[in-house]
Chain A
Amino acid sequence: MTTDIHKLLNKYFEGETTSEEEKSLRNYFSQENTSEDLLEIAPIFTFLEDEATALAVLDEIRKEETTIPRKNKQLRTIIWTITTLVASFFIAILLLQRPDTTTQFVENQVWVNGKKITDSDAIRYYAEESFSKVKSEENILEDQLNFMFE
């Protein structure tokens, strides 16, 4: 093994190693049982090993940086949309709950002198009576309308 390492080292310093062989060297020097005569040159390979790890971590960080903002953007859009919808919903409720406008006209009813009547015949009677007041025989309005329509 030691002989192999020495051969590889010679090859390395002559610049003839392949990437696989360099990887083997880095692996060897990353172990704790490195022979003492080689400890002097060990930092060259441990440094390279560390650099490779650092580059790998850096790559991962770069990848995360490109994916996280996209996720954040989508999340923010969803939050804004939901917030807008909820706000609009509450505004709608406030508008629709204006007192004495919408709700009171849902049910058929007549108010006579402040008293509420819900009898359908009475409602019809008072509706016809009010209509006839606007549309009476002596109605100036009717004459005006006749003139306009004819």
Chain B
Amino acid sequence: MKTKRYIRNTLLLMLLQLISLSGIQAQENLKISTIFEKYGKQKGSTMVLFSGEALNNYKLDKYRSITLPYDKNTSKDIQQCLEADKKSARKIKEVISSGIISSGYYQLLDENNHINRYILFKIGNDGIATLIYMEGGKDSEELINKLFIKNK
């Protein structure tokens, strides 16, 4: 009886710690991370990993981007990742051509960490795909929205 109680308490404690860890790791838990990992250092790709004070003016904490030739393999991978990640999106704006996402804007809110996360994606006319991940505080939302409104 006592042993059962110890095991239960132990498991609960471990579970709580894992939950807190998953909160810390929230920004890394998106599927698109695999795109950066898989294609970021390949020939033909350009990957930017940017964080720190330089981004403060944009109210952002983290900026990652990858541009890469959009072929059959990358298309499949990216589309699958976007489809998975957009399930947790708060705002979704996307253009779908011939069944695939040709451009997309996804805003993901992480309630636990009080951060906003953004995924931007576009396939250019030159056949180059650009995938961007951004992360910032609550006040980043207004600025990001402004950047995407065309000046008239």
The residues of A with any CB-CB pair to B shorter than 8 Å are 73, 76-77, 80-81, 83-85, 87-88, 91-92, 95-96, 98-102, 104-114, 120, 123-124, 126-127, 130-131, 133-136, 138-146, 148-150
Tell me which residues across on chain B come within 8 A of A108, comparing CB atoms: 49-52, 54
Q: How far is the CB of B72 from chain A (nearest CB, A)?
A: 21
Cross-chain contact B25 with A140 (CB below 8 angstroms):
no
Q: How far is the CB of B138 from chain A (nearest CB, A)?
A: 18
Question: How many residue-residue contacts, CB under 8 A, span A and B?
Answer: 141
Q: Give CA–CA (A101, B34) in the complex, Å.
A: 9
- Which residue of B45, B51, B103, B132 is within 8 Å of A105 (Cβ)? B51
Ranked 9 nearest A-B pairs via Cβ: A130-B65, A141-B103, A88-B17, A111-B47, A133-B130, A100-B37, A145-B148, A134-B120, A134-B122
Q: How far is the CB of A2 from chain B (nearest CB, A)?
A: 61
A contacts with B: majority SS: helix
- Which residue of A104, A109, A111 is within 8 Å of B45 (Cβ)? A111
Q: How far is the CB of A72 from chain B (nearest CB, A)?
A: 10
Tell me which residues across on chain B come within 8 A of A98, comparing CB atoms: 28
Cross-chain contact A113 with B43 (CB below 8 angstroms):
yes
B112 close to A (CB within 8 Å):
no
B88 close to A (CB within 8 Å):
no
Given contacts A127-B65, A134-B132, A149-B148, contact A141 B49 (CB under 8 A): no
Cross-chain contact B52 with A133 (CB below 8 angstroms):
no
The residues of B with any CB-CB pair to A shorter than 8 Å are 2, 6, 9-10, 13-14, 17-18, 21, 25, 28, 33, 36-37, 40-52, 54, 62-67, 93-95, 102-105, 120-122, 124-125, 128, 130, 132, 145, 147-150
Q: How far is the CB of B82 from chain A (nearest CB, A)?
A: 13
What are 30 A-B interface contacts by the 8 Å CB criterion? A80-B9, A80-B10, A84-B14, A91-B17, A92-B21, A95-B21, A100-B40, A101-B28, A105-B62, A108-B52, A108-B54, A109-B49, A110-B48, A110-B49, A111-B46, A113-B43, A113-B44, A130-B46, A130-B130, A130-B132, A133-B67, A133-B122, A133-B128, A134-B130, A136-B124, A140-B103, A141-B122, A143-B150, A144-B94, A145-B149
Tell me which residues across on chain A come within 8 A of B21, comparing CB atoms: 91-92, 95
Q: Give CA–CA (A100, B35) in the complex, Å.
A: 11
Cross-chain contact B43 with A130 (CB below 8 angstroms):
no
Cross-chain contact B14 with A87 (CB below 8 angstroms):
yes
Tell me which residues across on chain A come within 8 A of B25, comparing CB atoms: 95-96, 102
Q: How far is the CB of A131 from chain B (nearest CB, A)?
A: 7
